[in-house]
Amino acid sequence: MADLKAKFLQVYDVLKSELLEDPAFEFADDSRQWIDRMLDYNVPGGKLNRGLSVIDSYKLLKEGKELTEEEIFLASALGWCIEWLQAYFLVLDDIMDSSHTRRGQPCWFRLPKVGLIAVNDGILLRNHIPRILKNHFRGKPYYVDLLDLFNECHRRIVQYKTAYYSFYLPVACALLMAGEDLVKHVVVKDVLVEMGTYFQVQDDYLDCFGNPETIGKIGTDIEDFKCSWLVVKALEICNGEQKKLLEENYGKPDPSNVAKVKALYHEINLQGVFEEYESKSYEKLTTSIEAHPSKAVQAVLKSFLGKIYKRQK
């Protein structure tokens, strides 16, 4: 895996240098230096799970066949397109949310001299994706399908939040590379989007009940008045008096208000409600996966589910 990650990072260097020299973007030297720094700051900094899962999924679809150097490069390039997309979302999200830190460092727009130029940088990140696809996939029979897939992403994110690009997009890229027709894999999309929803619920749960040292951040959904799965469930379960307490304290920045909300969550046993949801989701997903006719596709889906079931961060 370490070897694969090293190869994956080498592909980033190749793609970045191609973009910096791309005649479609007429860069002066100072612009080129800015974009070089902007890419390094925003694209490769995360866990790279989404990008690496394109290679993992493609390997499983090839059922143990050794991948050629070209296949590893192309799967990595598609993985990086997803990481570029993620960077675009995060740069703009951080501005909209007035966030301070991201991945343990100040948000890009918070850096001296960056500010709202970050909006332009976000759009540039988005525009790099079709260039990468054109440079490396133009001659492939699935090129148009790739363009459609990445273009559709925007519409779907409104609908599915991160589920679409974190779960479906890496597998869809691998399926296209393996010569599959996505129209025939609607069930795969449904399972992965369902998995993404479960992942989002886990996120909401960990924001409140997770260990900050394990998840790497202190959750603020209660203070931020987020419409999280927990508060929706709480409103379903609460009696009139408890609802009143929730309405009086939810979305207030004061730690005493937050503590009252958390105490209420314990009182109505939201942890137990979540555990029941988790086990039912796992059963439902496993049943759907095992009903799929292809063992290779089953292996891909099971690898995703295995990574997230009962996760602590």
Tell me: the pLDDT tens digits for 195-204?
Answer: 999 999 998 9
Which residues, other chains included, contact 267 with Cβ-Cβ below 8 Å and sequence gap of 6+?
A: 242
**At 47, is the pLDDT very low, low, confident or very high (cuts 50, 70, 90)?**
confident
For residue 148, name the pLDDT band (cuts at 50, 70, 90): very high
Q: Determine which of 5-14, 16-25, 104-113, 214-223 has the lowest per-residue pLDDT on average.
A: 214-223
pLDDT of residue 159: 66
Q: What is d(CA 233, CA 187) in angstroms, rounded to the nearest whole number?
A: 28
Partners of 106 in the beta sheet? 101
At 129 the three-state DSSP class reads helix
CA dist., res. 280 & res. 246, Å (int): 27
Residue 46, pLDDT > 90, answer no
* pLDDT score at 158: 63
On whether the CB atoms of residues 121 and 94 are closer than 8 A, the answer is: no
pLDDT of residue 45: 85
Residue 291 has a CB neighbour count (10 Å cut-off) of: 10
Output the CA torsion 273→279→283→289 (10° steps). 110
pLDDT over threshold 90, residue 97 = no
- pLDDT single digits (tens) 52-83: 999 999 999 998 789 999 999 999 999 999 99
Indicate yes or no: pTM above 0.85.
Answer: yes
Q: What is the pLDDT of residues 99-131, one digit of tens each?
A: 888 888 899 999 999 999 999 999 999 999 999
